[in-house]
Structure formats: C-alpha cells, structure tokens
C-alpha cells in the first residue's frame, strides 16, 4: 500500500520506492526474523517511530497546544464583531482557518510565511488525489499534477531556509516546537529520513507533502461536519455550550488541559458519530509471515484483505437506532452516550447486547462510577467503528485529530454564533474510499462574536 501511494499519489521515484519495497524488517523495534535490512534503512520502523512519538507520545501535548494557539490567533485575526458577517463557504472557512493552524502546529509558522500559497496548493492536491490514485498520466490530466509539484517546490524552499536559520537555542521550552522546523517531528525526519539510502530533499518533500495531506485531508472535513451538526441543532448547541462553560467556566480556553477537554462526554460523542457517519475509508491488511484464521475464513500470508469503514459504520444490524428514531444514515449526537438510567441507550443495538457473547461495558476503564451520570462509551464497537484503521498501522495522528476537532468545536460554540444560509447540503462521493467526502456545493453561512 505504501509503495502504491508513494509512487502514484506523491510521485516518489523508483530508486526511493525500491527501499520501501526491500524493507521486510517490519514496523517494530525488533526486526522480523530473517530480515537483513541495515538499521539505517529500516524505513518502515523509522517513519512510524517518529509518528508515534510525535503524534501519540511526548509530542502530542506540545503539538495540541501549538494548534490551540494558532487557531485562536487566526480567529482573532478575522476580527469578527457582534454584528453578523456573511461568508461564502463553510468548508473553505475550515480549510483556511483550521487547516492552516494544523499545518502550522507541525511545520511551524516559517513554512507558511515563506509559502503563502501552500495551503491553496495543498487543497488543490487533495482535489487531485482521486485522479492520481487511478494512475492517470500527466499528459492526460496535467492539472492534477500541478498542485503537487508546487507543494514540493515550496517545501524544498523551506528546507533551505530552516537549515540556514535554525540552531538548538531555537527550540521552545517544551522541548518540541521551534519557529523554523516547527516541531521535533520535522527535525527528526530531516535527520533520519535523509540518512536512508537514495533519499534526498525532493523525495523527503514528497513524503512531507504526504504528511501534510494526511494531517488535514480528513481532520478538517470532520471538524467542519462536527461544527455543522452542532450549530444546525439549537438544542445540541445549547448543551455543548453548557458543558464547555460548566467544565471550564470563565477560564480561557487556551489555558485548559486538552486531556480534560477530550473527556467531555457530549463533545466526544459528537466526534465519534461524525466519524461513524462520514468516514468511508478503505484499509488494507496483510499478514506477511503467517496465515490468519478469521472464523470460517483464512487470510493467507502475504495476501491482502480490504475493508471499508463506511460499510461497517452503516450496519443497522449492529448500531443502536433507538427504536428507529435515529437511523444509521442520520446524525445522532448521543449515539455514543450510555445513560445508566436508560437501558436502550449506547452505541450498540439492544439485541446485540443481549447476545451471550456480549460483555457489559464498564465506564472509566473498568472503574465503577458513583455519580450514575451519562457517560461516553465506545465499548463493544471494536471491529465496527474503525475510521482510523486498526492494528499497529492504525493512524498515529488520531489523538491529535480528536484534540483538534474537539477544541475547534468548543471554541466556536462558546465564543461564536454561526448560522447556515442554505439547506443545500450534499456530500460528494468523489473521494469515496479515500476518507471523508466534502460538500458538493458551497455552503454560505454567517458568523458573529457572542456578546460577553
């Protein structure tokens, strides 16, 4: 899968792709038995180790903080007043404000300052991916290749500048961020990936384009749909505001603990439901060394299994539709909330829970709750809710993505009023299998600052 994506999506040349093809050592610290790949060429492990540390390990909190500050600053720059401001497209608003903030938290402010067209080209590349995925040659569809080449050139320009200006004293007190490379992840990739056989600035820029696209391609539309559903439903908006203000009071949102925010039950349920409803991504699985027995079936070693999250996410024989009131094809903000006083609540259908194989979920990781309040739960959804894939290859950016989506919605709900100005909301299927489908048409809206 990596070889195909690198070759066709990002145009990485064969001399570099061959290194990935030859790496049979696996993604774990200890190489697979029988592998003789030199440590410096274990590209699968090197890449994933960097992602795991930066996006789910010690780099997660600093990255989240940088996003929070960047997003709040961009909203401040918009200078929205208590009077309504009409804007032409809700989706483009999120691409601009949320997308730029997310890229900045990983790549730093210098990259975007040097390359003010980068975000426009990145979204141009996103729109071209379905063409590139089909292996369409450039002479047939040259417009599909232009944004990619532009992004690669801009990233290489940034490399030159950052190398000239960065030194160790530039690193922020958190030990992760810096104004030139942006984050420890980017410094790690410069050091480790350029040391791998056949890699150079051009190939690394193409992989860093992949990282940027991977960061925004699904996170931003998921954030947009989360906010859309919250602001479309006045009662849901009131509940979200009550929860945010009840938990954090008059505390500035930039001062809150992100770990506390992601535990908010209602916001977490909205997040999980948006991913269930809107993510239609294909995932490939393979066992390189042994057969895998799947009940009556066998996945032979070396063969590929293909799963689509959208199929499982729309399985009405599994998901709780609350007596038909909330079909799987519709958004239900409380689908992932269990109310101890309501036996019909929760994400899994009651008849599934009555199965002899069902294990009763226990909130808070098995700790008994004493308050008997409704709580967010995904227990029992394993194998049916997998917008990020699964196993060791599960998306390493999922924790940052959740923090981005929840903080974005919390800040907008608490500090702004937003109204959609059109009911023409249709999701395109053009990106089916690649992630979240975007809006088919522009969605005009208006926004104003809430009075204090």
Banded pLDDT at 291 (limits 50, 70, 90): very high
| Distance, CA of 287 to CA of 297 (rounded, Å) | 14
| Distance, CA of 96 to CA of 399 (rounded, Å) | 22
Q: What is the pLDDT of residue 259?
A: 82
Q: What is the pLDDT of residue 372?
A: 77
Q: What is the pLDDT of residue 360?
A: 64
**Predicted confidence (pLDDT) per residue in 178-193, tens digit:** 999 999 999 999 999 9
Instruction: Express as a percent the part of the chain with pLDDT over 90.
Output: 75
What region, left, alpha or beta, does residue 323 occupy, with left being phi > 0 and alpha being psi -120 to 50 degrees? Answer: left
| Range with lowest mean pLDDT among 15-29, 205-219, 368-382 | 368-382
| Distance, CA of 105 to CA of 182 (rounded, Å) | 7
Tokens of residue 437, six digits: 């489908």
| Distance, CA of 145 to CA of 69 (rounded, Å) | 33
Q: What is the pLDDT of residue 362?
A: 59
Banded pLDDT at 2 (limits 50, 70, 90): confident
Q: Nearest 5°: phi and psi at 10?
A: -110, -5
| Distance, CA of 258 to CA of 71 (rounded, Å) | 14
**Predicted confidence (pLDDT) per residue in 350-379, tens digit:** 988 877 666 666 555 444 455 678 999 998
Q: What mean pLDDT comes out for the span 139-144?
A: 93
Give exposure, 317-345, as e/b (b: 16+ Cβ within 10 Å).
ebbbbbeeebebeebbbbbbbbeeeeeeb
CA 248 to chain centre: 25
Q: What is the pLDDT of residue 366?
A: 45
pLDDT at 106 over 70: yes
Q: What is the pLDDT of residue 383?
A: 86
**Predicted confidence (pLDDT) per residue in 22-76, tens digit:** 999 988 999 998 899 999 999 999 999 999 999 989 999 999 999 999 999 999 9
Please state the pTM of the whole predicted model: 0.93
**Predicted confidence (pLDDT) per residue in 222-278, tens digit:** 999 999 999 999 999 999 999 998 887 777 777 888 888 888 999 999 999 999 999
Residue 172 has, within 13 A of its CA and on its CB side, a CA count of 17
Locate the domains of the chain by residue range.
1-30+38-281+387-452, 310-386
Q: Mean pLDDT in the chain?
A: 92
Give helix then strand counts, H and E, for the chain.
18, 9
**Predicted confidence (pLDDT) per residue in 145-155, tens digit:** 999 999 999 99
Q: Which has the higher per-residue pLDDT, 255 or 166? A: 166
Asked if CATH classification 1.10.630.10 holds for the domain at 1-30+38-281+387-452, the reply, yes or no, is yes
Q: What is the pLDDT of residue 155?
A: 98
User: Which sign, positive or negative, has the C-alpha torsion 393, 396, 399, 401?
Assistant: negative
| Distance, CA of 383 to CA of 348 (rounded, Å) | 12
Q: What is the pLDDT of residue 358?
A: 66
């Amino acid at each position: 899968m990596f070889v195909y994506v690198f070759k066709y999506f990002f145009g990485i040349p064969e001399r570099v792709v061959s290194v990935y093809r030859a790496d049979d050592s696996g993604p774990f610290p200890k190489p697979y038995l029988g592998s003789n790949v030199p440590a410096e060429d274990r590209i699968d492990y090197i890449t994933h180790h960097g992602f795991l540390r930066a996006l789910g390990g010690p780099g997660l909190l600093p990255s989240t903080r940088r996003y929070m500050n960047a997003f709040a600053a961009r909203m401040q720059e918009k200078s929205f007043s208590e009077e309504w401001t009409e804007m032409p497209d809700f989706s483009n608003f999120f691409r601009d404000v949320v997308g730029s903030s997310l890229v900045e938290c990983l790549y730093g402010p210098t990259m975007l300052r040097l390359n003010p067209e980068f975000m426009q080209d990145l979204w141009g590349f996103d729109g071209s991916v379905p063409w590139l995925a089909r292996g369409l040659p450039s002479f047939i569809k040259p417009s599909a290749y232009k944004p990619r080449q532009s992004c690669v050139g801009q990233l290489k320009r940034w490399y030159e500048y950052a190398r000239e200006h960065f030194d160790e004293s530039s690193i922020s007190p958190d030990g992760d961020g810096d104004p030139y490379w942006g984050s420890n992840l980017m410094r790690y990739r410069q050091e480790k990936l350029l040391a791998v056989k056949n890699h150079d600035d051009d190939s690394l820029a193409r992989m860093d384009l992949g990282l940027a696209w991977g960061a925004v391609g699904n996170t931003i539309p998921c954030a947009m749909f989360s906010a859309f559903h919250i602001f479309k439903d006045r009662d849901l908006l009131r509940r979200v505001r009550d929860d945010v203000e009840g938990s954090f009071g008059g505390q500035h949102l930039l001062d809150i603990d992100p770990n506390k925010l992601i535990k908010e039950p209602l916001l977490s349920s909205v997040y999980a439901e948006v991913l269930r409803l809107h993510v239609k991504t294909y995932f490939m699985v393979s066992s390189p060394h042994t057969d895998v027995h799947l009940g009556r079936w066998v996945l032979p070693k070396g063969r590929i299994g293909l799963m689509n999250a959208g199929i499982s996410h729309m399985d009405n024989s599994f998901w709780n539709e609350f007596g038909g009131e909330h079909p799987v094809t519709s958004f239900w903000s409380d689908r992932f909330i269990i109310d101890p006083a309501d036996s019909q609540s929760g994400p899994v259908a009651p008849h599934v829970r009555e199965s002899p194989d069902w294990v009763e979920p226990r909130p808070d990781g098995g700790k008994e709750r004493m308050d008997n309040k409704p709580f967010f739960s995904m227990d029992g959804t394993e194998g049916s809710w997998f917008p990020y894939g699964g196993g060791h290859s599960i998306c390493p950016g999922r924790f940052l993505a959740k923090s981005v989506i929840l903080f974005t919605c919390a800040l907008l709900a608490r500090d702004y009023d937003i109204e959609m100005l059109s009911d023409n909301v249709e999701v395109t299927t053009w990106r089916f299998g690649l992630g979240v489908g975007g809006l088919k048409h522009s969605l005009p809206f208006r926004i104003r600052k809430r009075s204090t």
